């Protein structure tokens, strides 16, 4: 590793007598945010523009579809002059998003320009509050290329074959242990344990601590938290703690030889072993958040969508061969990441509109995946949909999700194992969606299982 610009020490006050660090497992990011807004109701961001879809209530209440439908009818991109995150362009059409993503030299992902979420530009965040964790999703070429190449071999078809048996076994065991004849939360019982377990295996992360991955992922991936100013410090603390934990793992793996886990791959790769500690941590955060929140929420989304469209559940139950396409359709329908952001770096014209250097451009994947010019009856789940694969939930172009195959594999295995056990999952209680403009998903999904 290159000389350390910063090292992430475990908070010394937390080390106990045995030298073990009792890592902070609470508060949960969600509880902290709700408590913060309850205590400071005036600080909730206010949104005055009718097309400002950075407002999280429309996702929490699931009322976002008509707003994007109206925008798409009016054109593929629109200027939103006013929002709590400043002005931005909203790209809402499928073709327009692909086009924007195919011009990475003009529409930058670089964290130096503000990165990949709708949050403010880096300059707007006071220096002492910045948490600089550069990651390759927020880099442009050529640096992006080298770092992506390092982790890509962890997601080849051959690697997927190697991982499939274990995924199937863990999924089967989780389903076999489900409570019968009672209502339980699918998110905590199935979606979180399966995706967290997968990440722990990818990183060869200490199994007994794997719940920390979910905890950190929630703190790192919630863009709302980063704007609730009063929580900045808690969030930074959580992320430094995560960094400290991984620093210990890094030191341990560096002593060992090459191994297939992602940390060892990064340590021993020429493109990544020159990274400074911030870059190393940044890329770990990327893999943790990228691999966790997303797949987890589609695991919940599948169950919710099949319950909402009983004819589709029947089709799934009657024909196991539909599963690979059903996975694509559920990913389209769910779209676990609502947006990615780019920053325009030179004045340019896009679909008849003048975009200026420095403008923030938001690519709304949730809208593109409802684009009726590409998907007929786009607001319906249709597991036989012929072009379900054209969804852009994984993005497009040089940054297209590197973990897509792994996500697809986990979701396919989940559906196959549900089918094998003839499990029918009914929504039977409370459903709570995530209140966020970045991650789309479920915080709680109370269900009951029967057999079909």
- Choice from 243, 337, 418, 431 touching ligand HEM (CB under 6 A): 337
- Choice from 29, 167, 331, 413 touching ligand HEM (CB under 6 A): 331
Determine the Cα angle at 107 with ends 227 and 374, to 5°.
95
The answer to whether 210 touches 196, Cβ cutoff 8 Å, is yes
Q: Compare residues 56 and 295 and give the one whose CB is closer to ligand HEM.
A: 295
Residues in the chain: 452
| 396 is a contact residue toward ligand HEM (CB under 6 A) | yes
| Helix (H) or strand (E) segment spanning residue 238 | helix 232-255
Q: Compare residues 129 and 387 and give the one whose CB is closer to ligand HEM.
A: 387
Site mask, ligand HEM, residues 288-327, x = CB under 6 A?
Answer: --xx--xx--x-----------------------------
CA 391 – CA 394 distance, rounded (Å): 8
CB of 198 to ligand HEM, least distance (A): 7
Site mask, ligand HEM, residues 122-151, x = CB under 6 A?
Answer: --------------xx----------x---
| 115 is a contact residue toward ligand HEM (CB under 6 A) | no
Q: Give the count of residues interacting with ligand HEM (CB under 6 A).
A: 27
CA 297 – CA 346 distance, rounded (Å): 36
Q: Compare residues 200 and 286 and give the one whose CB is closer to ligand HEM.
A: 286
| Positions in 213-252 near ligand HEM (CB under 6 A) | none
Alpha-carbon distance values, 334 to 8, 24, 99, 242, 433 (Å): 36, 31, 22, 29, 12
Which one of the spans 34-42, 83-91, 220-228, 330-338 is the region binding ligand HEM (CB under 6 A)? 330-338
| 400 is a contact residue toward ligand HEM (CB under 6 A) | yes
Residue 67, burial from CB neighbour count under 10 angstroms (0-12, 13-18, 19+) = middle
* Tokens matching residue 206: 């200490």
| Helix (H) or strand (E) segment spanning residue 147 | helix 143-151
CB of 355 to ligand HEM, least distance (A): 18
| 401 is a contact residue toward ligand HEM (CB under 6 A) | yes
- Measured N-to-C along each axis, helices 157-176 and 192-203 cross at an angle, to the nearest 10 degrees, of 140
Q: How many CB atoms lie within 10 A of CB 321?
A: 7
Q: Strand locations in 8-85, DSSP E?
A: 77-80
Which one of the spans 1-9, 233-241, 332-340, 435-443 is the region binding ligand HEM (CB under 6 A)? 332-340
Q: Which of 319, 359, 340, 277 is nearest to 80 (CA)?
A: 359
The answer to whether 262 touches 375, Cβ cutoff 8 Å, is no
| 205 is a contact residue toward ligand HEM (CB under 6 A) | no
Q: Compare residues 32 and 393 and give the one whose CB is closer to ligand HEM.
A: 393
Question: Which residues sit at the interface with ligand HEM, rule CB under 6 A?
Answer: 101, 136-137, 148, 286-287, 290-291, 294-295, 298, 331, 336-337, 340, 393-397, 399-403, 406-407
């Amino acid at each position: 590793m290159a000389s350390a610009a910063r090292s992430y020490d475990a908070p010394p006050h937390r080390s106990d007598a045995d030298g073990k660090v009792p890592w902070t497992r609470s508060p949960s990011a969600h509880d902290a945010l709700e408590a913060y807004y309850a205590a400071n109701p005036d600080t909730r961001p206010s949104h005055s523009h009718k097309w400002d879809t950075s407002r999280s209530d429309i996702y929490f209440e699931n009322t976002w579809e008509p707003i994007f439908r109206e925008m798409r009818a009016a054109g593929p991109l629109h200027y939103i002059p006013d929002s709590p995150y400043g002005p931005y362009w909203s790209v809402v059409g499928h073709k327009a998003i692909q086009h924007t993503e195919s011009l990475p030299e003009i529409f930058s992902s670089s964290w130096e320009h503000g990165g990949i979420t709708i949050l403010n530009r880096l300059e707007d965040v006071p220096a002492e509050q910045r948490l600089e964790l550069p990651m390759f999703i927020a880099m442009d070429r050529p640096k992006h290329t080298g770092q992506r190449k390092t982790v890509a071999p962890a997601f080849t078809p051959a690697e997927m074959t190697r991982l499939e048996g274990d995924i199937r076994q863990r999924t089967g065991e989780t389903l076999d242990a489900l409570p019968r004849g009672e209502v339980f939360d699918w998110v905590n019982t199935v979606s979180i344990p399966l995706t967290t377990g997968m990440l722990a295996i990818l990183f060869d992360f200490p199994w007994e601590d794997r719940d920390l991955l979910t905890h950190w992922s929630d703190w790192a991936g919630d863009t709302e938290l980063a704007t609730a100013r009063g929580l900045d410090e808690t969030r930074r603390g959580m992320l430094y703690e995560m960094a400290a934990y991984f620093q210990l793992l890094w030191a341990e793996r560096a002593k060992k030889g090459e191994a297939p886990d992602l940390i060892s791959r990064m340590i021993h790769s020429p493109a990544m072993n020159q990274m400074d500690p911030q870059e190393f941590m940044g890329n770990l955060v990327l893999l943790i958040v990228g691999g966790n929140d997303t797949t987890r929420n589609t695991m919940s989304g599948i169950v919710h969508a099949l319950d909402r469209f009983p004819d589709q559940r029947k089709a799934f139950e009657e024909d196991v061969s539909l599963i690979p396409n059903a996975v694509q359709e559920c990913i389209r329908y769910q779209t676990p990441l609502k947006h990615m952001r780019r920053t325009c770096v030179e004045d340019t014209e896009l679909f008849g509109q003048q975009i200026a250097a420095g403008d923030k451009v938001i690519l709304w994947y949730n809208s593109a995946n409802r684009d009726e010019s590409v998907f007929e009856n786009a607001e319906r789940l249709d597991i036989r949909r012929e072009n379900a694969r054209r969804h852009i939930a994984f993005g497009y172009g040089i940054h297209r999700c590197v973990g897509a195959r792994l996500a697809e594999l986990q979701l396919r295995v989940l559906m196959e194992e549900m089918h094998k056990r003839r499990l029918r999952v009914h929504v039977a209680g409370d459903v709570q969606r995530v209140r966020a403009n970045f991650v789309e998903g479920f915080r709680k999904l109370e269900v009951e299982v029967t057999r079909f």
